Amino acid sequence: MSRIAYVNGQYLPLSLASVNIEDRGHQFSDGVYEGIAVRKGQIRDLQPHLDRLWRSLKGLMIDIPMAHGPLTMVLREVVRRNRLRDGFIYLQVTRGTARRDHAFPLDAVPSLSITCRRLDFDGVAKRAEVGVLAHSTTDIRWGRCDIKSISLLPNVLAKQEAREAGAFEAILVDSDGLITEGSSTNIWMVDDAGTLITRDTIDNILPGITRAVILEVAAELGLKVETRAFSLDEAYGAAEMFLTSTTSCAMPIVGLNGKKIGAGKPGPIALKLLAVYMKKLDQD
């Protein structure tokens, strides 16, 4: 069955779906996106994803393409037409199509496109049993990383650097030597006392939806949490580390820059958080 995309009012086979050559997303990265999980045919955490999309649009002064209600219907229709059970929805809004000029066009209509693909959550859980490796690199991004902008070149370069170093994820480090986040994930550590530490979202990082759910799970489990920045050195001495994102859920990090984290295998707190997270994903 061919995959179906939604582009500006039309549902089309992926091979026929296209945007205008003068779309400002294509020419200026002038747009925002969301990535949303689908589990057992249900769209998960839709409200927080839409809230974040609205904040991103506002942050870039891009008009809202469609109200929450109709957009929810379109997302459900994309899931239905693709017969998606477990998957990932990619939604992108750009400022629209106009003759190339840096300043905002006066009359552009935002462009909305949505695609989806399968995501094997059991495969994610299997990978978590082994854990992943991380590689650190300098964070060269701009000052508005709270906006989920499609302008991801620093993230792309960082991820590629990590992959070439044999790692799964790049951990970004700011000019003070503090970890900001991953190239497409939020980063956490657990100290020897079992306290969870993750950077505050007021600190120019993306407010991850998975991060927010994991904070809820941590509260339910009675775990102590500190939302503050931590350095690479502190991370090297962590009892555990893990990353969170829609596609990786809560994934243990077992090595950083060739050094073992904790015992060099997935830690019990990360695995517990993942187990509860997966249960929530199944039930909600």
Which amino acid makes up residue 185? T
Burial profile 27-51: b = 16 or more Cβ within 10 angstroms, e = fewer: beebbbbbbbbbbeeebbbbebbbe
Out of 78, 132, 210, 256, name the contact with ligand PDD by CB under 6 A: 210
206 binds ligand PDD (CB under 6 A): yes
Nearer to ligand PDD, 213 or 269 (CB): 213
Distance CA 80, CA 1 (A): 13
Q: Does 246 bind ligand PDD (CB under 6 A)?
A: yes
- The residue from 23, 169, 174, 181 that contacts ligand PDD (CB under 6 A) is 181
Q: Does 53 bind ligand PDD (CB under 6 A)?
A: no
Query: Which residues have a Cβ under 8 Å from the Cβ of 282 and sit 6 or more positions away?
Result: 39, 40
Stretch that binds ligand PDD, among 177-185, 188-196, 217-225, 257-265 (CB under 6 A): 177-185
User: Catalytic residue among 40, 148, 224, 280, which?
Assistant: 148
Sorted by sequence, the CB contacts under 8 Å of residue 261 that are 6+ apart come out as 235, 236, 238, 240, 241, 253, 254, 255
Q: By C-beta, is 98 or 145 nearer to ligand PDD?
A: 145
Q: Look up 148 and say whether it is catalytic.
A: yes
- What value, to the nearest 5°, has the Cα angle with vertex 149 and ends 82 and 77? 20
Phi–psi pair at 208, nearest 5 degrees: -65, 140
* Choice from 82, 136, 137, 185 touching ligand PDD (CB under 6 A): 185
CA distance 45 to 233: 34
Distance separating alpha carbons of residues 198 and 215, to the nearest angstrom:
10
Site for ligand PDD contains 186 (CB under 6 A): yes
CB 99 within 8 A of CB 135: no
Toward ligand PDD, which CB reaches closer, 146 or 234?
146
> Could you say whether residue 159 binds ligand PDD (CB under 6 A)?
no
Scanning 13-21, 162-170, 240-248, 253-261 for contacts with ligand PDD by CB under 6 A, the matching segment is: 240-248
In the complex, minimum distance from the CB of residue 109 to ligand PDD, in angstroms, rounded to a whole number? 25
Which residues of this chain interact with ligand PDD, rule CB under 6 A?
Answer: 35, 155, 181, 184-186, 206, 208-211, 244-247
Active site residues: 148
